[in-house]
Amino acid sequence: MDADRTLPLEELADLLVDLNDVLVRLQPDGRISALFGHVEELFGQPATDLLGTDIGLLLSEDVLASFLKAPQKKILYCTVRRPDKRAVPVSVSVHRVPAGNGTAGYLLTIRDISEKLELQKSLRRVAVLEYEKRRADQAEHVFSELIHNVKNRLVVVSGFARLLTKQLDRFELAWPATAKGQEPLAACLAKIRESGARIMGQAAETLDMVDLINQKTYRDRETSRREINLNELLRTELKIVAMGARLEGMTNTVSLANSLPPVVGLYSDLSQIFVNLIKNALEAMHQSAVRNLIVRTYHDQDFNIVEISDTGPGVPEELREKIFEPFFTTKRGPRGETGIAGCPGTGLGLSSTRRILHHYAGDVVCLANPAGGATFRVRIPYPKQLHRRLAGMDRQGLERELEVILHSTEFLPTLPDALTAIMEVIQEDQTLAAIAEALTADYSVLEKILAVANSAYFGLQHPVTSCREAILQLGLNEVRSIVQTVLVSHSLYNNPRLPGLERLWQHALGTALLADELGRRLPDPGGELGFAYLTGLLHDVGEVLLRLAFPADCHLEVDLLERKKGILSPDDPTLVVHACLGQVFLKNRTRLPEPILDAILHHNRLPPPSGQPLARVLFLADKIERYYPNADPAYQKIIATMAQDWLAIDPTGLEAVRERALSKLHGLTQRLGVRA
Ligand code: ADP
């Protein structure tokens, strides 16, 4: 900064106040002559009290001396000394400024960096945890090999022990040691027999344990959701935890409901939830005189409920929410360090428990155990919660209720502005410039669009670098499909935590391509078939939402539809929530035209609304993509008849449509993938 120029200090101060910085002007001798910004928050005293104070008294470093020694050093780090003794870490930059009478004073920009430091610390911890996880994965691999070998050897040991006993039987038959004087031999043989039985007993017990661990390792690796009985899971996990913990003096009261409705989920998710809670309970009782672990399950109308209670010190009321925050731990090492590098607590168990439960629309709370100690109560909804809530409602009631549900449900995907914008320009009879402009709004999306346009699939001679060029070279229709594909994949199907999304995305893409192909073969007086591709891409958005917020319902509905191969007759009372949910979601968040919403709403129910070719096209495309290739001849015949009656496409034409769509799908998925 030029020392002779007059500094527009007040103006600069206004700017800095927004940034949470404090600006301090110093006289040449280091005394404060003016302050701007959040002074009281940083220094713990009002600005007026600080005027005339030597800056050296307020900061832990002599920043002026450091500046004079090395003026090229732009930023210095130190802490602010406050009357309340709290040390606030700050960064300070010093500049020389004119102070009048030809002398130079200083201008200090002081920034509170405590949040930044905390963030850095957290990031470092996360990096260490990731490293630990990688190592744990490697260890798990070695472990399962080991288990395999141990099991083989145990089988051999037990086999030899059995052989030994058999040989003994034969020996005793041939040379019974009953004669007088043979007592020592008889005693010796009895000892051998007893040892053989013991070896077999121990080997059998150890084999059971190994089997249990094997089973758990196998289940923890499962990648698809299935019905899980929480009682069984708890029994298994309790046995496994008991193998690895010192449980002398520990009692265990297990009271499991006679029957629990199964929960739909990943075994590893659910076991992680309960292992975290059981381990915490055991650790909490480490020093208690009475150590009783109580596990109880029951259910109410909507939820399975599991309570894990202990007789440890309990959790003080003011901490009962705080303990669910990431990195909160009271389990510290001898020097106060937390759970990195072999020290006791990471503070991540409860936060991950809560995070996982959110994905199951469940929750966990910490309560006081009336017998002393803590109780953690987990609630997980079981199938039909949503279906039951909506059963028997008429169309309007259903729509209203789904709107409420959408509003109150966390973790729903947000549609990027670009998607909404592009949908709007696509609907109107847009110009090239309007589309290009809408696309440029979101750079990350534009980048992907260009990557797809430049892929080998389209075989362009010269790479395109802007949307306008892409439109000129590929044509408006092609670019429109690329844009829609990228945007829908990006905003709705890009959630790495949701298992099975990849297949659902392939289905959406396949349906879109089929719908487009089918639509091209029909007259389109109303102009709605131009939306066939987009409608196909979006038709199962409701299923994505169900998977996110109501996995149990989703599983139930998918099973049901699977059994009926996606076709419900007009009098079938089955409620297809995902179609209604998708329609309501899109209606609320976009301005898509009615025919698209109608087609999505009716894509499983016969008959599709008459006079709406888009609904028929989507209905058929969905069935052909999902069920047709492997279906029995009777089903294929139904589809062929529908294609003939509704769209005047004969079986040969239908096969041609399928082939064209399939080859396009192949080219596109290679380039896009789910997480494109
Ligand atoms: P960590 O066990 O690594 O500390 P958690 O997230 O599992 O991390 O737990 C956070 C904190 O919650 C623990 O450090 C402890 O203070 C408290 N806590 C958890 N479970 C219990 C319990 N059963 N009894 C008492 N305190 C508990």
DSSP-assigned beta bridge partners for residue 280: none
The structure tokens listed for 558 are: 């998918």
Would you give the distance in Å from CA 455 to the centre of its chain?
30
End-to-end CA distance of the chain: 47
Distance CA 161, CA 194 (A): 10
C-alpha distance from residue 56 to each of 52, 59, 63 (Å): 12, 6, 8
Q: Could you identify the atom of ligand 1 that is nearest to the CA of residue 351?
A: 6
CB-CB contact of 203 with 159 (8 Å): no
The pLDDT of residue 367: 95
Amino acid at 484: Q
Would you give the distance in Å from CA 409 to the centre of its chain?
15
Distance from Cα 578 to the centre of ligand 1, integer Å = 39
Does residue 398 line the site of ligand 1, with CB under 6 A? no
Does residue 275 line the site of ligand 1, with CB under 6 A? no
DSSP state of 675: T
Minimum CA distance residue for ligand 1 atom 14: 329
Distance CA 542, CA 548 (A): 10
Q: Could you identify the atom of ligand 1 that is nearest to the CA of residue 348?
A: 6
Q: Ligand 1 pocket check: which of 279, 309, 348, 350 to mutate, most ligand atoms within 8 Å of Cβ?
A: 350
Does residue 345 line the site of ligand 1, with CB under 6 A? yes
Distance CA 397, CA 170 (A): 81
The pLDDT of residue 502: 83
CB-CB contact of 427 with 564 (8 Å): no
Residue 543 has, within 13 A of its CA and on its CB side, a CA count of 24
The structure tokens listed for 70 are: 């090395």
Among residues of the chain, what percentage have pLDDT more than 70?
A: 87
Does residue 285 line the site of ligand 1, with CB under 6 A? no
CB-CB contact of 610 with 645 (8 Å): no
CB-CB contact of 284 with 373 (8 Å): yes
Helix, strand or coil for residue 411?
A: coil
C-alpha distance from residue 41 to each of 11, 45, 146, 157 (Å): 21, 8, 59, 72
Distance CA 612, CA 633 (A): 28
Number of H helices, E strands in the chain: 25, 12
Which among 551, 442, 459, 458 has a CA at the least distance from the CA of 501?
A: 551
- The model's pTM: 0.48
DSSP-assigned beta bridge partners for residue 96: 106
Distance CA 355, CA 325 (A): 10
The pLDDT of residue 675: 37
User: Nearest 5°: phi and psi at 528?
Assistant: -80, -20
Minimum CA distance residue for ligand 1 atom 3: 345
Would you give the distance in Å from CA 64 to the centre of its chain?
49
The pLDDT of residue 661: 92
Residue 224 neighbours by CB under 8 Å, 6+ apart: 266, 499, 500
CB-CB contact of 503 with 509 (8 Å): no
Q: Ligand 1 pocket check: which of 329, 338, 367 to mutate, most ligand atoms within 8 Å of Cβ?
A: 329
Distance from Cα 328 to the centre of ligand 1, integer Å = 8
- DSSP codes, 291-327: EEEEEEEEE-SSEEEEEEE--SS---GGGTTGGGSTT
Extended strands (E) in 82-211: 87-98, 104-112
Distance CA 271, CA 248 (A): 24
Helix, strand or coil for residue 243?
A: helix
Would you give the distance in Å from CA 212 to the centre of its chain?
28
Distance CA 508, CA 566 (A): 14
Whether the ω angle into residue 261 lies within 30 degrees of 0, i.e. cis, is no
Helix, strand or coil for residue 408?
A: helix
Distance from Cα 314 to the centre of ligand 1, integer Å = 10
Q: Could you identify the atom of ligand 1 that is nearest to the CA of residue 373?
A: 24
Does residue 331 line the site of ligand 1, with CB under 6 A? yes
Does residue 366 line the site of ligand 1, with CB under 6 A? no
Helix, strand or coil for residue 73?
A: coil
User: Nearest 5°: phi and psi at 292?
Assistant: -125, 120
Distance from Cα 283 to the centre of ligand 1, integer Å = 9
Distance from Cα 323 to the centre of ligand 1, integer Å = 6
The pLDDT of residue 54: 94
Distance from Cα 47 to the centre of ligand 1, integer Å = 42
- DSSP codes, 339-396: SSTT-S--S-HHHHHHHHHHHTT-EEEEEE-TTSSEEEEEEEE-TTHHHHHHTT--HH
Strand bridging mode 250-255 / 291-299: parallel
Q: Ligand 1 pocket check: which of 280, 286, 315 to mutate, most ligand atoms within 8 Å of Cβ?
A: 280
- Left, alpha or beta for 672 (phi > 0: left; psi -120 to 50: alpha)? alpha
DSSP state of 256: -
The pLDDT of residue 342: 47
Minimum CA distance residue for ligand 1 atom 20: 280
Distance from Cα 646 to the centre of ligand 1, integer Å = 62
User: Nearest 5°: phi and psi at 46?
Assistant: -65, 155
Distance from Cα 451 to the centre of ligand 1, integer Å = 47
Minimum CA distance residue for ligand 1 atom 26: 315
Distance CA 583, CA 578 (A): 8
Minimum CA distance residue for ligand 1 atom 23: 281
Residue 621 has, within 13 A of its CA and on its CB side, a CA count of 37
Query: b/e for 339-376, b at 16 or more Cβ within 10 A?
Result: beeebebbbbbbbbbbebbebbbbebebeebeeebbbb
The structure tokens listed for 443 are: 């750079």
Distance CA 355, CA 515 (A): 38
Which among 249, 235, 236, 323 has a CA at the least distance from the CA of 286?
A: 249
The structure tokens listed for 346 are: 């990471």
Amino acid at 138: Q
Among residues of the chain, what percentage have pLDDT more than 90?
A: 34
Strand bridging mode 291-299 / 363-368: unpaired
Does residue 310 line the site of ligand 1, with CB under 6 A? yes
What long-range pairs does 353-360 form, CB within 8 A, spacing at least 24? Answer: 353/272, 353/273, 353/276, 353/277, 353/324, 353/378, 354/324, 356/269, 356/272, 356/273, 357/273, 358/410, 358/411, 359/269, 359/411, 359/497, 359/548, 359/551, 360/263, 360/265, 360/269, 360/551, 360/552
Helix, strand or coil for residue 502?
A: helix
C-alpha distance from residue 629 to each of 304, 517, 619, 658 (Å): 39, 17, 16, 10
Distance CA 471, CA 1 (A): 49
Segments of the chain with pLDDT less than 70: 1-19, 99-102, 246, 334-343, 384, 409-445, 497, 499, 669-676
Does residue 649 line the site of ligand 1, with CB under 6 A? no
Distance CA 657, CA 625 (A): 11
Distance CA 439, CA 416 (A): 11
The pLDDT of residue 452: 77
